[in-house]
Amino acid sequence: MRLDRLRIQGLRCLHEVDLALAPGINVFIGANGAGKTSVLEAVFLLSHARSFRSGAREALLARSASRLSVFAELRQANDRLLRLGLGREGARWEARIEGEGASLGQLIAECAVTCFEPGSHALIAGAAEERRRFLDWGVFHVEHGFLDIWRRYQRALKQRNSLLRAGMEQGSPLYGPWETELSALAGWIDSQRRNYLERLRPSLHACVAALLPELGAPELRYRRGWADDRDLHEQLEAQRGRDLGRGHTSLGAHRADWSLAFEHAPQREHLSRGQEKLAALGCMLAQARLYADHHGDWPVICLDDLASELDEAHQASVIAQLTESGAQVLVTGTCLPEPLRGLPHRMFHVEQGQLTPLL
């Protein structure tokens, strides 16, 4: 899929931006703080309804604006053109598809964006939440019902946590229904996640090994969030006493995690920061490739500050993979990354939130 047109209003320093994008490579060049990453942030919002940057959602809204919005004309496989919009006024997101109100789930089902940025190494070295998000984004695009089940799971979890925080005694019958619900939903979530990881495994091996051949074969490991030998319902009941002390539910699908280990770097601590980044990028490219296999359409690929994240050989390897795939690519930098010289691309100069196409 590709963005033919992108309009951004009231996002950080981007007050009013309207761009016609090239189907292939688009490069955004400008000084620090010019607004390059914010363009990628806008694109990412359409497919995740959140930013890839940490920090409060309120910070996305330009200081002088009361509303932020992102609008895109998205061309999908088979040349279908979709008009998508996402706006935020106050604390609420509002999605639109073809001018009609839509749920966030409907919006993100239509638009797929993968973004590699300076914080991406967190996928390898950061908290488990980052990896669960990655995994669940992939699962959602194979099985859209996932979002609904995940929300129901979160509601049941909240209820059990409220009982724990209220100090409800271990033997209370109030726990039972929530534990039954959690256990049934977690079982479904776990099986979807396993299926997805099994499908991801071959492209993950190929993409990660292509970027990090020196580390040998990668191995994908998954933990579902509760012990393998008994069902969750039983474990939750047995765990009530300890959970009461902690004030939250310590077992379940919200505790799942996955990791990558390498033949020549069996522990995460064996990876350099650059290798963490490359491993994260490999995972993202693998996910994008699996998406393309499933939907017949590559996600839009964003590469923030590519030249300062990767050495030139790795930049060239990524660009070669993406050029071959035919994916639309949005790259930012303070200058044109060396491997892009000589390749067809559209370039935009970014300065104080203003974008100018360069010929």
* Nearest residue (CB) to ligand ATP, 32 versus 78: 32
Note whether 81 binds ligand ATP by CB under 6 A.
no
Q: According to the annotation, is 316 in a ligand binding site?
A: no
Q: What mask, x for binding ligand ATP by CB under 6 A, covers residues 287 to 326?
A: ------------------x---------------------
CB atoms < 10 A from the CB of 67, how many?
13
Note whether 114 binds ligand ATP by CB under 6 A.
no
3-state secondary structure of 205: helix
3-state secondary structure of 76: coil
Note whether 88 binds ligand ATP by CB under 6 A.
no
Q: Cβ of residue 63: shortest distance to ligand ATP, in angstroms?
A: 4
Query: Judged by CB under 6 A, which of 56, 63, 127, 173 binds ligand ATP?
Result: 63
What are the strands, taking DSSP E only, across the chain? 2-11, 14-20, 25-30, 67-75, 81-89, 92-97, 100-102, 113-116, 218-223, 257-262, 300-303, 329-333, 346-351, 354-358
CA 136, CA 82: separation in Å to the nearest integer?
Answer: 24
* Nearest residue (CB) to ligand ATP, 42 versus 102: 42
Cβ atoms of 312 and 321 within 8 Å: the answer is no
Q: Cβ of residue 306: shortest distance to ligand ATP, in angstroms?
A: 12
Q: Cβ of residue 30: shortest distance to ligand ATP, in angstroms?
A: 5
* Nearest residue (CB) to ligand ATP, 36 versus 121: 36
CA 233, CA 184: separation in Å to the nearest integer?
Answer: 8
Q: According to the annotation, is 34 in a ligand binding site?
A: yes
Taken in order 161, 163, 164, 165, the sign of the CA dihedral is positive
CA 188, CA 342: separation in Å to the nearest integer?
Answer: 49
Note whether 132 binds ligand ATP by CB under 6 A.
no
Note whether 13 binds ligand ATP by CB under 6 A.
yes
Helices (H), 255-311: 273-295, 306-309
CA 250, CA 235: separation in Å to the nearest integer?
Answer: 10
Query: Judged by CB under 6 A, which of 18, 20, 57, 59 binds ligand ATP?
Result: 59
Q: Which of residues 233-272 bind ligand ATP (CB under 6 A)?
A: none
Note whether 355 binds ligand ATP by CB under 6 A.
no
CA 42, CA 300: separation in Å to the nearest integer?
Answer: 12
List binding-site positions for ATP. 30-37
Residues that bind ligand ATP (CB under 6 A): 12-13, 30, 32-38, 59, 61-63, 305, 332, 350
List binding-site positions. 30-37
